[in-house]
Chain A
Amino acid sequence: MLVSDALLEALEREGLKVAFGIPGSANLGLYEKIPDHDVNVILMRHEQGAAHAADAYGRVKRKVPGVAFATSGPGATNLVTGLATAYMDSAPMIAITGQVPTAVMGRDAFQETDVVGVTMPITKHSLLVRKPEHITWAVRAAKVISVTNRPGPVLVDVPRDFWKKDIDFYWPSDEELIREWIPGYNPNPPKPNPSLIMKAAKLLIEAENPVILVGGGVWWSFATDEVLKLAEVLMAPIVTTLMGKNAVPADHPLVLGNAGMHGRPEANYALYNADVVLAIGTRFSDRTVGNFEEFRKGKKIIHIDIDKSEIGKNIDPDVGIVADAREAVKVLREYIVNALKFRRDKEVPIIKKAKEFGEYAWEILLKERGRGMKPWKVLKIVREELPADAIVTTGVGGHQMWAALHYPVLKPGTYLTSGGLGTMGYGFPAAIGAKAAAPDKPVLDIDGDGSFLMTSQNLATVKQYGLNVGVLIFDNGSLQLIRQWQDLFFGHRRVGENLAYLPDFVKLANSFGIEGVRPENYDEMRKAIRRVAQGEALVIDYIVDPDIMVLPMVAPGKVISPENLILTPEQAAGITV
């Protein structure tokens, strides 16, 4: 069997039947054989988009990584941003790149880049296939590594001259794979340490105001139900990180929303004022707590994470448990309920206080400011019109923060955003990847004008493959968050934020054969969103007053305490960052 056939056969056997990519001279030998296999390849218009689509596919499927194909040199380097995005958000994906032939490798051959070397710090693993007969081992290893333990992206680089080499197809067993190829890799996380579980339980039941902080790891470990059950036993509020927003349903009575720099006031209040924080599947990003030392004061921290290098990295916990989140939370709850016979019958006091603070803050925040349709009202319409299981993706910028604040996630797994790397341009190709993963669900990319422009050429892919996704562009003619930071913290010196000469997004969509609309009132917006909910591909150009800021906000470096919450632009006067 040829190496190209063997690779495609391996993808089929692993259930990796959707790939996003662009052909080039170094992977044409692979593309040649695609028609003979049950692997569907979607042509993206830039490899960055292929990587984001594969990343999103993996985020939706969880145990089936998305696959991106690229050629050597620029094709491979164009994947880099997408790989780093997936790495930072622990999303499983596999990139398969063509490499120059072995005879010229290392000689600066045409379109040669050492992509394995380039991607070492931004992938969970990367490898060059050094012998043709290694191809099935490499694909199997990539799949196992990408989806087990803490998920992440894996890159497999294949020299061009290998594609047509004849090999004996060999399919290693799981045991062989681990023993012969990746003996240093343990796909199974450790079991939670019983004595640490006991310590954590004691802290939680003795706490007056425990708060559960949910990170993206809760989604990856299928821990949603266990976390909700534990919260109900403790009657403790759940707040989330930006990635954790995707992991718990916002309409659960104990969920207060996402905390952080642009977190909901009630969530920040609860998290900051907790006496015990149970953090699950989160790396305690600076964007979540603001200032590590200040946040740490006056509270006990229990940290559960599958990755032991995360325990104590940013915040030293009182109890650090290295384990799969679902397993650890389950054991913790069972110990609290069965051994300690503990169950609270009413909500912990901080919930009432947090909600009161939230009411106070929202009354200020939702005062009418600026012209035209207000972002929060538009997002309310989006939520009302999209079914609960619709998938929303976002770009990065002001619109992303508005969505974090005002778009409640009702079904876990339906909110894809670049939280760690903060990659502008993520939202649109991610929507395409999500649609490929879940063709029966409506998919909407909530994007910014600047962010959408970075990957908008993939409109062609939407049309070509009938991957009907909607795009809601928050069009304010500027890099909104940059302008906001310059206005608030850099002396109103607006430099490089003005997106002059934007295209007419309706005409841009039309030029790709896709419909576009520019709603002028809430009724028209509702009708447009309804079309997306019904499965139409549609670009919605939402004109936003550029002077409307995303608030609340906590200035960078400041802890997320109530007094640091900026509720009006005037409150930011004098803050330096």
Chain B
Amino acid sequence: MSDIETYVIKFSIYAAIDGGLDGLARAIHVVRKAPIQFHDMAVIDAGKTKEVSLRISGRKKDVEWLAKKLEKVVEVLEVKVQKMPSEVAVIAAHT
């Protein structure tokens, strides 16, 4: 059985100084180097922060490592990792 599962990582980027694009770019650099599969990403403006949802698949260990790396990005305020419900993951895998 595969140990690859789908997760959503949610994090906030402090955007009060520069609008948040640099923080977002820095976070994407971190994601690029992680041993996970990237599916999609949504960014919502919330005033002083940008709220980012990242949908990825990978091993739990690697996803947790990615979350720790994201926490190190200076502009990142908070990181939450959620495993996606399996039915959602199945839908996601076929769309």
Interface residues of A (CB under 8 A from B): 116-117, 120-121, 124-128, 130, 134, 145, 180-185, 307-309, 312-313
Closest to A182 in B: B74
Given contacts A145-B74, A184-B76, contact A134 B17 (CB under 8 A): yes
Of the candidates A121, A180, A313, the one whose C-beta lies within 8 Å of that of B65 is: A313
Closest to B77 in A: A184
Given contacts A125-B74, A309-B69, A312-B65, contact A120 B18 (CB under 8 A): no
Given contacts A184-B77, A185-B74, A309-B71, 12 further A-B contacts (CB under 8 A): A120-B22, A130-B17, A130-B18, A181-B17, A184-B14, A184-B75, A308-B71, A309-B69, A309-B72, A312-B61, A312-B65, A313-B65
Structural contact, B17 and A117, CB atoms closer than 8 A: no
Stretch at the interface among B25-33, B38-46, B85-93: B25-33
- On chain B, the residues within 8 Å of A184 by CB distance are 14, 73-77
Does B68 make an interface contact (CB < 8 A)? yes
- On chain A, the residues within 8 Å of B22 by CB distance are 116, 120, 126-128
- On chain B, the residues within 8 Å of A183 by CB distance are 14, 77
Tell me, rounded to whole Å, the shortest Cβ–Cβ distance linking A136 to chain B.
13
Structural contact, B29 and A121, CB atoms closer than 8 A: yes
A–B Cβ pairs within 8 angstroms, 14 of them: A116-B22, A120-B22, A120-B29, A127-B18, A128-B22, A145-B74, A180-B16, A181-B17, A183-B14, A184-B77, A307-B72, A308-B71, A309-B69, A312-B65
- On chain B, the residues within 8 Å of A312 by CB distance are 61, 65
- On chain B, the residues within 8 Å of A180 by CB distance are 16
- On chain A, the residues within 8 Å of B76 by CB distance are 184
- On chain B, the residues within 8 Å of A185 by CB distance are 74
- On chain B, the residues within 8 Å of A307 by CB distance are 72
Closest to A121 in B: B29
- On chain A, the residues within 8 Å of B69 by CB distance are 309
Tell me, rounded to whole Å, the shortest Cβ–Cβ distance linking B42 to chain A.
20
A443 to B71, CA, bound (A): 39
Tell me, rounded to whole Å, the shortest Cβ–Cβ distance linking B62 to chain A.
10
Tell me, rounded to whole Å, the shortest Cβ–Cβ distance linking A386 to chain B.
38
A125 to B29, CA, bound (A): 12
- On chain A, the residues within 8 Å of B71 by CB distance are 308-309
